[in-house]
Amino acid sequence: MSPVAVTQAPPSPAPPPAGPAATRRRGRPARPKTDGVAGYVFLSPWLLGFAAITAIPMLMSLYLSFTNYDVLSDWSATEWVGLDNYRQMMTEDPSFWHAVRVTITFALVATPLKLAAALGVALLLNRSFRAGGLFRGLFYLPSLLGGSVAVAIVWVSMFNQDGAFNSFLGWFGITGKAWVNDPDYALGTLILLAVWQFGAPMVIFLAGLKQVPAELYEAASVDGAGPVRQFFNVTLPILSPVIFFNLVLETINGFQGFTSAFVLSGGTGGPVDSTLMYTLHLYNKGFTEYQMGYASAMAWVFLLSIGLVTALIFRTGKFWVHYSDGED
């Protein structure tokens, strides 16, 4: 693994002679350390950014999660409440558990569907035909528009009472309803929106498919395997590391869904909380109810949960991810 070596200290140009350096002059650190300083100074733009934008705010939020911080009040009014926010979340906030249910439903349904769609389209695009690049681009397009507010707005109007989807149903004599306004279907439209944005995993699948050695298919067909058999016994196993990678990424993505739910419900999670995603509930707690301490606690529970789920997926990976040993 050569990239790792790069981050290690470069070999010092002239190893310090043991004698003089050892008789250390007052206040001067030993030479290798000064070299390190220059390295850190060069790194400083990134380090500063990391500290200011990621590390410090995260630690702050961890601290805030043990307080009753409410955004508007003076700092002096902020009190340490220990685990109270966490206790409240688990025992006193019915919306919390509701949001957990909605989010899990969303992730559990959307992720597999999205991956299936991505893999299916990738398989279709994996043959060489004219304008293949064009189709790849077109299928990838939705995920570029991905989390944008504009797409969510279009989506809402498409699945409204007089939206495009109902006109489409009308051709078959079916009278649709205002899907986005129905608590039984609103989450479904969000899932559909997520699935539609399958471009990113599709491109990765496509790259993976190109790596499958052709001789394996040849060998399989010589042994009498049809296309279905080949898919299950050659393509899937070889592709399993890529599937694994996509599964991890998309699961995390799924849990973090926010924009579309926010736009569809105008920030409320409605109709009747049917689209109250975890992140949306968190946002409302922090920014409309000003319970930022509580919201911070929610964020940490969220982080730990996603970590746990990811770890779980990694665990199961042992049983189904196949790494071919011979490279090239």
Partner 1 sequence: MTATHPPRRRFLRTLVAGMLALPLVLGACGGDDSGDDGKTELSFFWWGGEARAELTEKALALYTAKHPDVTFKKTWQANQGYFDKLATLTAGDDAPDIFQIDDNFLAEYATRNVTLDLTSYQTAGTLDTSKFPEGLWKYGVVDGKLAGVAFGENTQGLVFNKSKLDAAKQPLPETGMSWEDFIAWAGKAGAATKLAGTMDPSADYKAFWVWLRQQGKEMYNGNELGFTQADVQAWFELWKGARDAKATPTADVIHEGNATDITKQLVVTNKALTSWVWANQMPELQKNTQDELGLVAYPGDASKQWPRASMYFSVFRGSEHKDIAVDVINFLANDPEAGKLLGTDRGLPSNTEIRAAVAASTDNASMKQTIATIDELSKNYGPSPSVPPRGHSTVRSELIKAAEEAQYGRATPAKAAEQFFAASQAAVSR
User: Using CA atoms, how far apart are residues 278 and 295, in angstroms rounded to an integer?
Assistant: 11
Question: Looking at 102-110, 121-129, 138-146, 178-186, which segment touches partner 1 (CB under 8 A)?
Answer: 178-186
Contacting partner 1 within 85-144 (CB under 8 A): none
**Are the CB atoms for 206 and 122 separated by under 8 Å?**
yes
Q: Please select the residue that binds partner 1; options are 48, 138, 141, 164, rule is CB under 8 A.
A: 48
Q: Please select the residue that binds partner 1; options are 15, 29, 32, 49, rule is CB under 8 A.
A: 49
Q: Please select the residue that binds partner 1; options are 56, 59, 60, 77, rule is CB under 8 A.
A: 77
Shortest distance, position 87 Cβ to partner 1, whole Å = 15
Q: Please select the residue that binds partner 1; options are 24, 30, 32, 34, rule is CB under 8 A.
A: 34
**C-alpha atoms less than 13 angstroms from C-alpha of 155 in its C-beta half-sphere:** 29
Angle between helices 236-255 and 94-125 (to 10 degrees): 150
Q: Please select the residue that binds partner 1; options are 104, 178, 209, 313, rule is CB under 8 A.
A: 178
- The C-alpha angle with vertex 193 and arms to 259 and 95, in degrees rounded to 5, equals 50
User: Using CA atoms, how far apart are residues 192 and 117, in angstroms rounded to an integer?
Assistant: 11
Residue placing its CB nearer to partner 1 in the complex, 90 or 144: 90
45 is a contact residue toward partner 1 (CB under 8 A) = yes
Q: Please select the residue that binds partner 1; options are 58, 62, 63, 70, rule is CB under 8 A.
A: 70
User: Using CA atoms, how far apart are residues 244 and 322, in angstroms rounded to an integer?
Assistant: 10
User: Using CA atoms, how far apart are residues 325 and 314, in angstroms rounded to an integer?
Assistant: 19
**Are the CB atoms for 139 and 196 separated by under 8 Å?**
no
Question: Looking at 72-80, 194-202, 212-220, 302-310, which segment touches partner 1 (CB under 8 A)?
Answer: 72-80
Picking from 186, 165, 188, the residue whose alpha carbon sits closest to that of residue 265 is 186
User: Using CA atoms, how far apart are residues 221 and 175, in angstroms rounded to an integer?
Assistant: 48
Contacting partner 1 within 233-292 (CB under 8 A): 266, 268, 270-273, 284, 287-291
Question: Looking at 67-75, 111-119, 230-238, 313-321, which segment touches partner 1 (CB under 8 A)?
Answer: 67-75
Q: Please select the residue that binds partner 1; options are 15, 44, 153, 304, rule is CB under 8 A.
A: 44
In DSSP terms, 67 is beta-bridged to 80
**Are the CB atoms for 255 and 80 separated by under 8 Å?**
no
Look up residue 224 and give its two tokens.
């009498």
Helix, strand counts (H, E) of the chain = 17, 0
Residue placing its CB nearer to partner 1 in the complex, 11 or 226: 11
Residue placing its CB nearer to partner 1 in the complex, 178 or 309: 178
List residues binding partner 1 (CB under 8 A): 13-14, 31, 34-35, 37-38, 41-42, 44-45, 48-49, 52, 70-74, 77, 160-161, 177-178, 181-183, 266, 268, 270-273, 284, 287-291
